[in-house]
Amino acid sequence: MTTPKDLKRHLRREALGRRDALDPFWRVEAALEMAETARDSIAMEPGQIVSGFWPMRSEVDIRPLMFALREKGARLCLPAILDKTTIVFRELVRGAPMVDMGFGTVGPHEEAEVLDPQVMLVPLAAFDARGHRIGYGAGYYDRAIARLVDKGQPPRLIGIAFDCQEVALVPDEPHDVIISEILTENGLRRFAPKL
């Protein structure tokens, strides 16, 4: 019998294979297009705290997108892996030292201020038309989002992916976090909240 976890593993592998197969030059153009969409479509209050991520492997390079949001007044932060279960978000300040975070990514040095994001740009491996996502399997973001919700500070969640990462249906599990918006090269998609 196939479990939801097994099915997610299979869907993740297939979606990441499609993403890996994208032309690297096309991915650069798509990332720039997504930055323009974000500038035009994502409302931002000056000083609003936005968490991004440093791209790894074939992920969307959201650095141009983060720059566009900074130009709108956002205060940026990146995830920092503390241990096998926990990430925090450290402020990204121009010129501050960056350190290796493992998994082929970097983040601000431990002296950087830890912030609670109000908007989270969430990396994902796959998603469906309901806003259900499949992450990379470690649960870092699920736990970080849950901590913010528990503090009474639920963030606005915007998944970041290429359209080729969409799957027909992500199996539901009780711990799943629904992403209400997903930005791809074809625009910002909004999903109805689960009733």
Instruction: Count other Cβ atoms within 10 Å, centred on residue 35.
Output: 22
- Asked whether residue 80 is marked as a ligand-binding residue, the answer is no
- Asked whether residue 143 is marked as a ligand-binding residue, the answer is no
- Asked whether residue 39 is marked as a ligand-binding residue, the answer is no
- Asked whether residue 59 is marked as a ligand-binding residue, the answer is yes
Contact by Cβ (8 Å): 29, 162 = no
- Asked whether residue 9 is marked as a ligand-binding residue, the answer is yes
- Asked whether residue 62 is marked as a ligand-binding residue, the answer is no
In the chain, at which residue ranges do the beta strands (DSSP E only) sit? 49-51, 75-81, 87-91, 98-102, 105-108, 114-115, 119-123, 126-127, 133-134, 156-160, 181-184, 187-190
Phi, psi of 6 (to 5 degrees): -65, -45
Residue 104 in tokens: 């082929």
Instruction: Count other Cβ atoms within 10 Å, centred on residue 188.
Output: 15
- Asked whether residue 178 is marked as a ligand-binding residue, the answer is no
The residue written with tokens 């479990």 in the block is 3
- Asked whether residue 11 is marked as a ligand-binding residue, the answer is yes
- Asked whether residue 12 is marked as a ligand-binding residue, the answer is yes
- Asked whether residue 5 is marked as a ligand-binding residue, the answer is no
- Asked whether residue 140 is marked as a ligand-binding residue, the answer is yes
Q: What is the DSSP string of 55-101?
A: --TTS---HHHHHHHHHTTPEEEEEEE-SSS-EEEEE--TT--EEEE
- Asked whether residue 183 is marked as a ligand-binding residue, the answer is no
- Asked whether residue 134 is marked as a ligand-binding residue, the answer is yes
| Known binding residues | 8-12, 59, 133-141
Q: Which residues are annotated as part of the binding site for ATP?
A: 8-12, 133-141
Cite the annotated binding site for substrate by residue number: 59
